Amino acid sequence: MKTSLSTEQAIAYSAAAGIGGKLFVLEALRGGDTSKASAMLESMLDSDLVALNLVPDTTINPPMKRVIGRAADYRVRYPYKSGDPVIDSAVSDILLKYRPTQSREK
């Protein structure tokens, strides 16, 4: 598979950021700071949802729709706001778009 240099760099930056975030969470958990770990995981979830909100709807396949729906259900059970209105709006937009029908009726 051939990729462009910019695509390769984007993949590398994403992977490196993912490693950094996971290490942060693991260290917080091992140190007993579950609040810090939860906050980081919520932020990471927001980041992924914002990224998915930026791609065309045609890019979102059925498995992606299901996982976004799971995130929507999770956020109904455990509400979270980042404090940044731009991020919160983008997260809300994608969760509403792909939230399972039965969850919308609650």
Name the pTM for this structure.
Answer: 0.83
CB 88 within 8 A of CB 82: yes
pLDDT tens profile 27-47: 999 999 999 999 999 999 999
Q: Does 105 have pLDDT greater than 60?
A: no
pLDDT tens profile 49-100: 999 999 999 999 999 999 999 999 999 999 999 999 999 999 999 999 998 8
Q: Does 3 have pLDDT greater than 90?
A: no
Q: In Å, what is the CA distance from 53 to each residue of 5, 27, 93, 105? A: 24, 30, 8, 23
CB 45 within 8 A of CB 71: yes
Q: What is the DSSP string of 1-30?
A: ----HHHHHHHHHHHHHHHHHHHHHHHHHH
